[in-house]
Copies of this chain bind each other. A is one copy, B any other.
Amino acid sequence: MNRYWSKLAQGLEPYVPGEQPRDRKYIKLNTNENPYGPSPKVLEAIRNATDDSLKLYPDPTCDMLITAAAESYGVGRKQIFAGNGSDEVLAFAFMAFFDPGRTIVFPNITYSFYPVYASLFQLDYVTTPLDSEFNIPSEQLLQNSGGIIIANPNAPTGKALSMSAIRNVLEGNPDTVVIVDEAYIDYGGESVVKLIDQYPNLLVVQTFSKSRSLAGMRIGLAFGDSQLIAALESVKNSFNSYTLDRLAIIAGTAALRDAGYYEGITAKVVATREKFVRDLRSRNFTVADSAANFIFVSHSDVSAEKIFNELRARGILVRYFNKPVINNHLRISIGTDAEMAAVIRALDQIL
């Protein structure tokens, strides 16, 4: 830091993503990536588009991707926004809907980027505590605040909120936007995209980095009333006209058009998760019910930090958050059956 930093920059505490080490080959279960690759049709579409047309700017409206999403989700084209990953979509949403001086609300244990956005955009926030089983007590979110954001399923707990609980939150906050971050929804939660016609204050955010196996391509979507989408467009077009490159637009479109492939790999991840949860519970792990592609666990006898370090030494990366409330838990992404069997073997050595 030096005298050239803005006051804003001086006050930031940036988000720290899960590590992407290159020192050795790891079984990588720390950033909730998909263990299966993208659809072969996606890869083919990217290769076919890799030509001289890359000299031209992308379509700033991402029309092809928006059209495919409208068909896939059964919503209107003007109800969809596309951004560079759900992180960028969320950043734009914080700018478009939340005002400094009006306190926003989110759970104390959730995606740790939310307080970072609040700091970047100089928004006040309060957090509401999870209950003892890591559920979000939605009745605490009924105060009319400056805005609400909920991850559903929540991270890093993996626990889902019911649609009726989300309806209550929407109805309890008629004057402010409620963002529902559905990054992990395809692994077990019930999406509220179908509610956007009923609630003009609902913005649903999804990503292609998890169930669509395209973390490397940075694609996120938002769904909501056309007026909310127009606000996101206005902010984006004041920031960077083209945040999805040509190949990302192509990749996202092809992914939406091969739903069958993705349903197949999602079902595999869910089946692997259920077996892994049983294996852990039989070894005295407490495992929160997960509707995501990761699980949140603690052991009765051995600390999370110790297990984290021991797994790392054995070439297995998981995520450990050294924070109050959750500093005796690990978040473990679900990989292939073989990878999770390797985790179980390593745990049997460690315990």
Residue A76, interface by CB 8 Å? no
The bracket for how many chain A residues form the interface is 35 or more
Q: Which residues of B contact A34 (CB under 8 A)?
A: 55
Within 8 A of B (CB), among A80-116: 84-85, 87-88, 91, 95-99, 116
Segment touching B, from A45-53, A151-159, A277-285, A298-306: A45-53
Residue A43, interface by CB 8 Å? yes
Q: Which residues of B contact A218 (CB under 8 A)?
A: 58, 242-245
Residue A56, interface by CB 8 Å? yes
Q: Which residues of B contact A246 (CB under 8 A)?
A: 216-217
Residue A15, interface by CB 8 Å? yes
State whether A57 touches B120 (Cβ < 8 A): no
Interface pairs (20), CB distance under 8 Å = A1-B230, A2-B200, A4-B227, A5-B96, A8-B99, A9-B231, A9-B235, A14-B234, A37-B51, A38-B55, A43-B50, A47-B50, A54-B216, A55-B213, A56-B215, A84-B84, A88-B240, A91-B240, A119-B238, A218-B245
Residue numbers of A with Cβ under 8 A of B are: 1-9, 12-17, 20, 28, 31, 33-38, 42-43, 46-47, 50-60, 84-85, 87-88, 91, 95-99, 116-117, 119-120, 175-177, 200-201, 209, 213-218, 227-228, 230-231, 233-248, 251
